[in-house]
Amino acid sequence: MSFIDVKYIQLVSSRLVLFSRKKADLYNFRCPYCGDSQKRRNKARGYLFKIKNDFVFKCHNCGMGRTLANFLKDQDTFLHDQYVMEKFKDGKTGKGTTVPNPKFNFKEPKFVKRDTGLEKISSLNISHPAREYLENRGIKDLDYFYYCPKFKAWTNEQKKMFDNLKQDSPRIIIPFRDKEGNLFGYQGRSLAPKAKLRYITIMLDEEQPKIFGLDRVKEDKPVYIVEGPFDATFLENSVAMAGSDADVRTFGWSNYIWIFDNEPRNREIVARISKVIDRGDKVVIWPKKIQQKDINDMVLAGHNVQDVVDSNVYSGLEATLKFNDWKKV
C-alpha cells in the first residue's frame, strides 16, 4: 500500500460527506461530482479503491471515474500540488504511474428486508413439476428457491411491471439477496419447455448489482464467480453474475476466481475471459477432457466439479498460455 496515497486520502476525507474506510484499500463516501442520491441523504456511492498499485475513484451513481491525482485536483488544488510534489520526491511520478479509469455499475444501497410469501420448493410434493425440474438438474439446495403459481400477478404485488396479466404462468423464483439477506430482486425460471423467455429478471431496487448469492458469501474464503444461479449451487462460496456487468473489485473480496462456461467457440465468452486475464484476475480454464458446456451439465455427467475447478485455476502468463490453447476463435 502507498503511504503517500493513504495519507492524502485521509487529508481530503474532511471534504467528503459520509466518508468511511470499508476495508483495506477501499473507501466510501457521497460522490462530490453528482452529489449522490437526492432522495436518500445517507446513500454513499463514491469509492476510492486500489487497482494494482494505484488508487482510483469511481461513482456508482453518475459513472465519474478519476485517478487519485485528478480526484485530489478536483477537490483541492493546493492539496493536489502537495501530493504531486511528495510523489515526485518519492520517485512515483511520470509515465506508467497512473491507471485508466475503470468501468463498472455496482451500487450499494440499503433495503428493508422482504419476504417472498411463496412456498419453498423443498416443501412441495415430490411429484410437483417445479421440484422435479430442480431435482432432475441435480440441484439439492431446494430450500433456497420458491414456487410461484402466477408469476406476473405476484410480481405486480412486489413492483408494478405487467399491464397485461393474460397468459400468466408458474415459474421458479431465484432470489437475489444482499449480504444482510434483504431481497432486492429475483429471476423467474419458466417451467414450460418452449417458453419464449426462459428467465425473466425483476429488480426491486435498480441500484443493486444483478448478482445471485451475495447473502451466502464468506469474504475470508475464495469466492467463485459463475454465470448462472443454478451453477452457483454446485460450488462452495459461489455467486452468479446473472447477466450483471458489475465490477467485483469494489466488493472488498480479497480472493475471487472467475468461472465461465466451457464454450471455446463463443466469441463473447472468449472476450470476457481475455479481459479478466489482462486485468490480472484468477480464472478457470477448462481442461480439454471436459466436454460439457456448463457446470450443471458437468455435474450431471458425473464430474466432481469442485475438484476440477480447484485444479484448473490460473492467472498471469500461465492463464494466457492455457487460454490460448483452449479457445477456438
Is residue 114 included in any domain, yes or no? no
Contact between 32 and 12 under an 8 Å Cβ cutoff? The reply is: no
Q: Using 50, 70 and 90 to split pLDDT, how confident is the model at 101?
A: very low
> What are 247's three cell numbers?
465490477
| Domain boundary, last residue among 68, 89, 110 | 89
pLDDT (tens digit per residue) in 43-63: 899 999 998 888 999 998 888
pLDDT score for 23: 87
Average pLDDT for residues 115-131, to the nearest whole number?
93
Is residue 305 included in any domain, yes or no? yes
Say which CATH number the domain at 192 has: 3.90.980.10
- Same domain, residue pair 180 and 253: no
- DSSP labels for 7-45? HHHHHHGGGSTT-EEEETTEEEE--TTT-S-SS-TT---
- Same domain, residue pair 180 and 262: no
Strand order in the sheet with 282-284: 238-240, 223-226, 256-258, 282-284, 313-314
Q: What is the C-alpha to C-alpha distance for residues 194 and 287, in angstroms, rounded to an integer?
A: 33
- Same domain, residue pair 54 and 146: no
Say which CATH number the domain at 283 has: 3.40.1360.10
Is residue 102 included in any domain, yes or no? no
SS3 call for 315 = coil
Count of positions (residues) in the chain: 329
Is residue 153 included in any domain, yes or no? yes
pLDDT (tens digit per residue) in 223-282: 999 999 999 999 999 999 987 877 888 888 889 999 999 999 999 999 999 999 999 999
Distances (CA, A) of 13 to 6, 7, 162, 323: 10, 10, 45, 42
Average pLDDT for residues 18-41, to the nearest whole number?
89
Inform me whether the pLDDT recorded for 112 exceeds 70: no
Amino acid identity at 43 = K
pLDDT (tens digit per residue) in 272-294: 999 999 999 999 999 999 999 99
Please provide the average confidence, as pLDDT, over all residues in the chain.
Answer: 89
Domain with 30 in it? 3-89
Is residue 134 included in any domain, yes or no? yes
Query: What Rg do the C-alpha atoms of the chain give, in angstroms?
Result: 22
Q: Using 50, 70 and 90 to split pLDDT, how confident is the model at 107?
A: very low
Is residue 65 included in any domain, yes or no? yes
SS3 call for 5 = helix
Q: How many domains does the chain have?
A: 3
Say which CATH number the domain at 8 has: 3.90.580
Average pLDDT for residues 56-73, to the nearest whole number?
90
Inform me whether the pLDDT recorded for 295 exceeds 90: yes
| Backbone angles phi and psi of 262, in degrees to 5 | -85, 70
Q: Angle between the 68-75 and 77-89 helix axes, to the nearest 10 degrees?
A: 140
